[in-house]
């Protein structure tokens, strides 16, 4: 960097980033603040939105057990999806990383490719598999595992399975990226000292990829808790989560202030959980991030 | 694949089956000759693919999605390049905050963004318009464009620029003839990822789309909410085939793993 650039550094930087900053201030900051304000407005079926300050919506969300139940379900589903995605995504990333050519370049495309396919198309696939005459139930009944078809559609189980499918590639990416930075000699040393495959994975590899697992888990949790299309299609009206609740308040009931309060609570709740787990992670693994 | 044991390979097979099952089933059911959802046991038929042509709303939504994705990712890249250069090359107060601000659309749930934009656009009088869709999509694809351009700008060797300056090139010439060609791979992959993100977005768009301006994923979502039939299955299958073709091309040019790992950092 030349002396001239250092001297003018700040000004040039703000000038270069200026257009993007203005754009973001105008169409990110302003709408979010407006939504926050909206959650304090009054609403009635006949009068519509009234711009007076009231805590009515917030009181309703905090005291009504209906809303509590939906938020509880949202976070229960998100937690389950995160745990399952980590449990199956981490070993898969390890297996992918140990593959040799040509599989080493083929299978990652199969695992990560679905991320590029529309969520609606992928969820439709699960709806087809889940139906009472769908492939899963036909197979289960034919194999004699169950006597009568299992209900997957409009259940939490169905939503969790479909969400794991949508989000597990993100765990694989995150762990895989960490694995590629590891020194393979450490693993070889453990093997030469007599460690079995599973012991090496558990005692040597796992502790080293922990940061990758945790950062993948945080992303999956955040996306699962705010997922919309998958719970809406698989869960239907029966399994409502925070985002489908907000959608109904906005586009069906037309109670925008209440819907805004639901959205703001989801935003704040998620931000708190993510910030908390990030801090925990940095304290625990600070030496790895340097 | 000698380094993986038998248990690892069984696990891997099950995992791959889980990943491809719902995608494959859509592609198979789409070829049914029957008038209802079923596996095509008595031969394959293209009748449901032909039926798409009778529903111009899907074709129109597809066209609008392509325009929206192309416009919003191009504009996002135009904003992202100078911003990325500013963040990559200068140390100034507020640099970290600026980066976090540009990345914030990744952290905010898309439902919240959808609601915020719906409120904002109806207030300023552009609710349900194409301009509103473009503005909102610029915001959600910006983090992807910025991240990949930023990675390219940080990795760039600046001595080439200094050489150009010492040979008398002006700032515009340096940018056009030296800087831009060097960061071009990042710019292009940022644009591609932005395009795909915009094209697939449904959660935020469902709030701000209107019957006259609607994207393909939202059109499909609303259709599925009413009923699931072979028609929407064939639309999904067509979309899957198209995505796979794009995916194969991307893998040839960039390496899909590089694109993804670049995006996840």
**Residue A290: CA atoms inside 13 Å, Cβ hemisphere, count?**
0
pLDDT of residue A135: 82
Q: pLDDT tens, B154-166?
A: 888 888 889 999 9
Mean pLDDT for B179-192 is 91
CB contact burial B44-68 (16+ within 10 A = b; e otherwise): eeeebbeebeeeeebeebbebbeeb
pLDDT of residue A2: 46
Query: pLDDT band at B67, cuts 50/70/90?
Result: very high
pLDDT of residue A138: 84
Q: pLDDT tens, B212-257?
A: 899 999 999 999 998 888 999 999 999 999 999 998 888 888 777 7
Across chain B, mean pLDDT equals 90
As for the ipTM of the complex, it is 0.91
Q: Which domain covers residue B120, as residue numbers? A: 55-264
> Is residue B132 within 8 angstroms of chain A, CB to CB?
no
Residue B158 lies in a domain: yes
Residue B47 lies in a domain: no
Compute CA distances B232 → B36, B40, B51, B236, B259, whole Å.
12, 16, 10, 6, 30
> Is residue A170 within 8 angstroms of chain B, CB to CB?
yes
CA A280 – CA A274 distance, rounded (Å): 10
CA A100 – CA A68 distance, rounded (Å): 50
The DSSP symbol for A148 reads S
Q: Are B136 and B105 in contact (CB under 8 A)?
A: no
pLDDT of residue A13: 86
Residue B2 lies in a domain: no
Q: Which residues in A lie closer than 8 A to residue B86 (C-beta atoms)? A: 12-17
Neighbours of A208 (CB within 10 A): 16
The residues spanned by each domain of chain A are: 65-289
Residue B235 lies in a domain: yes
CATH number for B80: 1.10.3720.10
pLDDT of residue B261: 67
pLDDT of residue B264: 58
> Is the confidence at residue B83, as pLDDT, over 70?
yes
Q: Which CATH superfamily is domain A65-289 in?
A: MetI-like (1.10.3720.10)
The residues that bridge with A50 in the sheet, in sequence order, are A42
Segments of chain A scoring below 50 in pLDDT: 1-8, 290
> Is residue B19 within 8 angstroms of chain A, CB to CB?
yes
A147: closest CA of chain B, how far (Å): 22
Instruction: List A residues 224-283 in contact with B (Cβ-Cβ < 8 A).
Output: 225-229, 232-233, 242-243, 246-247, 250-251, 256, 259-260, 263-264, 266-267, 270-271, 274
Residue B19 lies in a domain: no
Q: Is A195 strand, coil or helix?
A: coil
**How many domains, chain B?**
1
């Amino acid at each position: 960097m030349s002396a001239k650039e250092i001297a003018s550094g700040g000004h040039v930087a703000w000038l270069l980033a200026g257009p993007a900053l203005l754009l973001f201030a105008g169409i990110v900051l302003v709408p979010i603040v407006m939504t926050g304000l909206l959650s304090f407005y009054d609403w009635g079926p006949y009068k519509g939105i009234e711009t007076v300050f009231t805590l009515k919506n917030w009181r309703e969300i905090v005291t009504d057990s209906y809303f509590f139940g939906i938020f509880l379900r949202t976070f229960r589903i998100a937690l389950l999806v995160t745990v399952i995605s980590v449990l199956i995504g981490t070993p898969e990333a390890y297996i992918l990383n140990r593959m040799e050519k040509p599989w080493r370049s083929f299978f990652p495309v199969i695992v990560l490719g679905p991320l590029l396919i529309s969520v609606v198309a992928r969820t439709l696939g699960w709806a087809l598999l889940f139906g009472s005459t769908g492939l899963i139930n036909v197979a289960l009944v034919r194999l004699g595992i169950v006597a009568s078809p299992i209900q997957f559609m409009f259940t939490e189980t169905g939503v969790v399975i479909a969400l794991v499918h949508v989000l597990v590639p993100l765990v694989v990416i995150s762990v895989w990226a960490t694995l590629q930075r590891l020194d393979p000699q450490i693993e070889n040393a453990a093997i030469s000292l007599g460690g079995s495959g599973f012991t090496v994975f558990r005692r040597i590899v796992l502790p080293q990829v922990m940061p990758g697992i945790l950062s993948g888990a945080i992303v999956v949790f955040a996306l699962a808790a705010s997922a919309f299309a998958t719970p809406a299609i698989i869960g239907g009206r029966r399994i409502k989560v925070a985002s489908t609740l907000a959608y109904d308040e906005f586009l069906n009931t037309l109670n925008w202030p209440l819907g805004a309060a639901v959205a703001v609570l989801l935003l704040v709740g998620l931000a708190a959980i993510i910030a908390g787990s990030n801090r925990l992670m940095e304290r625990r693994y600070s030496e790895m991030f340097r | 694949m000698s380094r993986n044991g038998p248990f690892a390979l069984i696990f891997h097979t099950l995992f791959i089956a889980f990943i491809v099952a719902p995608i494959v089933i859509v592609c198979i059911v789409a070829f049914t000759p029957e008038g209802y959802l079923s596996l095509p046991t008595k031969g394959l038929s293209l009748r449901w693919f032909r039926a798409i042509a009778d529903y111009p709303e899907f074709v129109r939504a597809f066209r609008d999605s392509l325009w929206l994705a192309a416009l919003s990712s191009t504009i996002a890249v135009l904003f992202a390049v100078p911003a990325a250069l500013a963040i990559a090359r200068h140390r100034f107060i507020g640099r970290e905050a600026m980066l976090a601000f540009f990345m914030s659309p990744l952290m905010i749930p898309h439902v919240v963004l959808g609601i915020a934009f719906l409120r904002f656009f109806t207030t300023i009088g552009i609710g349900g318009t194409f301009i509103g869709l473009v503005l909102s999509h610029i915001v959600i694809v910006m983090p992807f464009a910025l991240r990949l351009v930023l990675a390219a700008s940080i990795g760039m060797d600046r001595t080439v620029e200094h050489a150009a300056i010492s040979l008398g090139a002006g700032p515009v010439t340096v940018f056009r003839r030296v800087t831009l060609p060097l960061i071009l791979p990042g710019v292009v992959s940022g644009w591609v990822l932005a395009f795909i993100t915009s094209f697939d977005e449904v959660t935020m768009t469902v709030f701000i789309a209107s019957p006259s301006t609607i994207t393909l994923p939202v059109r499909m979502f609303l259709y599925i909410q009413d009923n699931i039939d072979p028609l929407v299955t064939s639309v999904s299958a067509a979309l899957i085939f198209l995505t796979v073709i794009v995916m194969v091309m991307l893998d040839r040019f960039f390496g899909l793993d590089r694109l993804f790992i670049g995006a996840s950092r």
